[in-house]
Amino acid sequence: MSDPAAAELVVDARGLLCPLPVVKLGQAARSQPPGSVLLLLATDEQAEEDVRLWARGGGHAVLAVETEDEIIRITVKCAAAR
């Protein structure tokens, strides 16, 4: 299970539909230094695919994806500055 304490920032996007979870994650990532670990909480089933595409395009790394009680927990490490 993802450890919220390991994340520098938790982005709560529960109840939001595509594309808002990944939009909120992107906004949060821009406010963090490279190498930061973010935890996205989402309920939209599309969130995992959206985050993977966003991460691939921006050089970020998806560290873990877990679902528990209909909540999708996606842990992402922010890319180093380009």
Residue 78 appears among annotated catalytic residues: no
Q: Kindly report the CA angle at 19 between 14 and 24, in degrees rounded to 5?
A: 60
Q: Which of 10, 18, 65, 79 is catalytic?
A: 18
Q: Kindly report the CA angle at 64 between 62 and 67, in degrees rounded to 5?
A: 125
- Give the residue numbers annotated as catalytic, written as ranges: 18
